[in-house]
Chains A and B, each alone.
Chain A
Amino acid sequence: MKTNPFDNIGIGVTFSPNLNANLNAVARLCIKFNSKLTLIHVGEASDDKNEVFSNLLKPFLANGLQYKVVFKTGKPVDVILSVSKKNKVDLLVIGALKKENILKYYVGSIARKITRKAQCSVLLLINPTVAPSPCKHIVVNGLKSPKTHQAIESAFYVSHHLEAKKLTIVEEISQHQVHVNVEDDKSLRKSTIVKERIQLRENSRINKIIENIPTVYKSKSNFTTQSIFGKSGYSIGHYAQLVRADLLIMNAPNKTSFWDRVFPHDIEYILTELPTDVLIIR
């Protein structure tokens, strides 16, 4: 594990009503993680713009915030992706939109494209606020995947720095894994046993990952594991929403194609209905 996985945090900025809240949220994050901030603006450079940014970020400079602003014209998606690649951004922060009247969030088309194509980790914020809000409960996926190791490591890192009280590692068990269709008492018993066996196996797999994590990160937060039964990728969002988690940490999806959007799975589900802030680890 790198000493600081989020050394350089990037954010795309436009002059929208959300600007102040977005900048406040990301600046707080940079101070907590001790990282540099890169503001990416799609458009021409100008002193006016620079002044707005520096005014908004002034309160944080005292706490040691270092930032730079990169201006570039072009298509928003391409600009943000290329600039963050060039500047070695480790974590890209994107503000989600809030649907009118309903307490539901979704990711705009630009942000979605960025999420899919970005080469670095992505943090989707559903409700950036000017005032700080504590992060109490973090949920992280424990899927059986080579990427999970990194996701869980990052989760411990994040929870350590954000001082989260609780960290839940969720193993999603899908129907395919159980293999048994419940039809009568006999198959029910069988499926219950199979499920328990899978649960034990998953737990020991997760525990192995946890063992390798430096004790510094494990000391502060209270971590538990939880198996859930449902569609993988979707149910973890459902779970995060149910337990009112403040942050959901997920593996990056494998390369998605057109069909994945027509028949959504995994991350695509999360993008259509954001349950909470989502951090996608790459």
Chain B
Amino acid sequence: MSNKSNQAKGFIKALPKNIFSGLVVSLIALPLGLGLAMASEAPPIAGVIAAIVGGVLVSILGGSNVTISGPGNGLVGVLLIAIATLGLNSAYAAIICSGLLLIVLGFLRLGKLANYFPSSAIQGMLAAIGLIILGKQFHIMLANKITRANSVDYLLEIPNTIKQVFLYTDSSLTYAAIAGVLSLAIMIFYPKIRNKYLQLIPAPMWIVLLSIGFSYYVELVLKTPNPIHPQYMISGIPSINEIVTQLPTPNFSNVFSWSFFSSVLALTLIASIESLLSIKAVDKLDPEKRRSNVNKDIKALGLATIVSGFLGGLNVVTVIARSSVNVNNGGTNRSANFFHALFLLLFIMLFSTQLTRIPLPALMAILVFTGYKLASPKKVISVFNIGKEQLIIFFTTLIVTLKIGLITGILAGVLVTLIIHFVISKNVGLFLKNILKPNVLMFKEEGGVGNYFVSVKHYCTFLNYTKLKQKLDEIPENKEVIVDFSLCEFVDHTVMENLHSYQELFQKKGGHFDVTGLDMHNADSAHPFALRRVLPVAKIFASNLTRRQNTLKALATDYKLVFNTKKVKNTSFLNDYNYFKTKKINFIYNQLSDNANELNVFDIEFSEGEFIAKEVVRSTMLQFNLEEQIPKFSIDKEGFLEKMQSFTVVHDIALKNHPDFSKRFLLTGVDEIEIKAFFNDDTVHFFESNPYYHVESKGNSVLIYQKERLASIKELKAMLNFGKQLKKQFSIVTKCTTF
């Protein structure tokens, strides 16, 4: 009972955070919902309905924690075809049926469906969906609406449309195109600007706000009609009353036709794959390191899809970009998803007329950006880096998906992967003979530490990966695991990639995940699927340091430090800092450290958010170790935003005799009494008389940084100096008092 009431207390305490985060997510969900629905040729409101229904139902019934549900990118391609071939009302029937099928999958514990597909084929399929979205919406973004039979034709028309823009005689079309290009620019440049006030509103919402603002400015200040062509404005946003009274009637008359059946199948497949991939990615971002119940989530998504279909909405899936925005804004439980839906409902109730002031090209620019992100050249390069054969799988899936359809595309990808495996291993029998064998053995080594040992026999590819996954899922992530492939003759890229993500997961949750026994495979004709493919290409020129690196080198000799330019991927010493809980560290580089390795200055690259909300940040940080334990705390500059947050999200510890310090700095931490004792007069004066730094202590080690960008040499010197003095200060305090 006390446990329950504790939970309730925690829930209520976390509520403000989640309401705030839900608000921010709804700001990105509104334009995306409208855009995704329009890209699928459904009424714009359908996307918002899906988000509202999904948010309410999945937050109540789902099994994941910080995910956001709503209309997904991946489904645009399928819905487009479904609506084109079946008509809108039959498409709603297909959506409802796919929801039913999803529930069935959930009950059969087949949430793992996506595990049966090679990851390069899934990548290829997602890229194809990206190209479908990009190809179609690019023309609308430039105010040149065209209709073509095939998604490839849309892509081929792109140069033509660009030419067309400069030939518009109708200035209203030119204005529409300008709105589109400006919006695209906002989407592209927004992640590059790190300003916390600007970042509070996601880029898509800026587009909405700016275009509505512009429309009012023209109407009220200039008193002229909107210069953008009325055909390129969003039309038909119904008010809430109309939505409720004019429910569509799903048409189930052609349930038994092939086109209906294939649409349902494709919708279900893509919905489950997209949701699963998103849940997996979001679980890695969860600051509380919880594990999602995939099957429960799939059931909830299925139910939400059915309800959404009846109300005239699209399929409901778990979406990655919105979920990552949720995590970054402090969402901690499912209530954030609920509030996101609530805020969306509020927007529709209050501002449905204002939404018609958004130019269509501006909204489509968001989708063009989304499509580009799905099919970006970076994706192709990363697939190529894994191996040439992965590129064959990728492009086969991509081209077949574009030319024929999603289901055929993914099947082609599976087939090509199989053939490639047969050719590379030169041993078809290995696959056929052992397909049904339970090839995975797991045991906990008796005595001692009790490591989990997992041994895999015969072969391990996408065909039988679930057997390995099932065993790995049974291991708590804070334990030590050794996965041994020495009895295994063939391991494919899909497995290696998944193991890599397990490795990350275990590292984040405090465990250890080791893969052994692949050395032989490498010796054997340089095995293409081995994880160690990430080794960088040898540099042609031995020394090609940048100017900054050269200066750092000089600085290192000056300060008697060791300078290392290499990218270091093992950043486990940064794992326990709160700051990195919702961030993914890519690597550290340009490391300056003293001989004893106690003081450490480095450049770091980390990323925040996923997919279109992804922001890659490079920054310079300083870290030092302490001999004595000090309390865990963090200090930040207290600005307006932090003041606001201190009401909702975090609790600022106030020091009694230092009101000025408390006003200027945001001091947070769990153990308030110890922290108060630690911050004696000297320490407070030290902080007050030095420039602002973000300082975080995790007990025996301290992290310092100033700005979320690389520091100049001067700033770096100052930081080094500050770090040294802070270390001295801390050791003085610990000598006087023990913690």
Contact = CB atoms under 8 A, between A and B. Distances in A.
Interface of A: 181-185, 187-189, 191-192, 195, 224-231, 234-235, 238-239, 241-242, 269
A194 B336 CA distance: 34
Contacts of A224: 446-447
Contacts of B294: 183
Contacts of A183: 63, 293-296
- Max chain A Cβ within 10 angstroms of own Cβ: one of B438, B444, B446: B438
Contact of B438 (A184, A191, A235): A235
B625 to A, nearest CB: 32
Given A183-B293, A184-B291, A184-B293, A239 B441 contact: yes
Contacts of B439: 238
A185 B441 contact: no
Interface of B: 63, 109, 290-296, 437-447, 455, 457, 471, 473-474, 476, 484, 487
Given A183-B294, A188-B291, A235 B446 contact: no
B293 A241 contact: no
A238 B457 contact: yes
A137 to B, nearest CB: 15
Q: Across chains A and B, which 9 residue pairs bring their CB atoms closest together, nearest first?
A: A231-B438, A184-B293, A228-B443, A238-B441, A183-B293, A229-B442, A230-B441, A235-B441, A185-B291
A182 B473 contact: yes
A235 B130 CA distance: 44
24 contacts: A183-B295, A183-B296, A184-B292, A185-B291, A188-B473, A188-B474, A191-B474, A192-B476, A224-B447, A229-B442, A229-B471, A230-B438, A230-B441, A231-B438, A238-B441, A238-B457, A238-B487, A239-B441, A239-B443, A239-B455, A241-B457, A242-B441, A242-B487, A269-B437
Given A183-B63, A184-B290, 6 more contacts: A183-B294, A184-B291, A185-B290, A185-B291, A239-B441, A242-B455
B442 A228 contact: yes
Nearest to A173: B443
Nearest to B294: A183
Contact of A238 (B296, B446, B455, B474): B455
B457 A182 contact: no
A179 B474 CA distance: 12
Contacts of A225: 446
Contacts of B444: 227
Contacts of A238: 439, 441, 455, 457, 487
Given A183-B293, A183-B294, A185-B291, A234 B437 contact: yes
A227 B443 contact: yes
B473 A184 contact: no
Nearest to A235: B441
A229 B476 contact: no
Nearest to B436: A263
Contacts of B476: 188-189, 192
- Max chain B Cβ within 10 angstroms of own Cβ: one of A183, A192, A195: A183
Nearest to B479: A192
Contacts of B293: 183-184, 187
A230 B446 contact: no
Contacts of B296: 183-184
A38 B317 CA distance: 71
Contacts of A229: 441-443, 471, 474
Contacts of A234: 437-438
Contacts of B446: 224-227
Contacts of A228: 441-443
Contacts of B442: 228-230
Given A230-B441, A238-B441, A242-B487, A181 B291 contact: no
Nearest to A231: B438
A188 B442 CA distance: 16
A230 B474 contact: no
A37 B18 CA distance: 80
- Max chain A Cβ within 10 angstroms of own Cβ: one of B109, B439, B447, B474: B474
A227 B441 CA distance: 11
A209 B471 CA distance: 30
B63 A230 contact: no
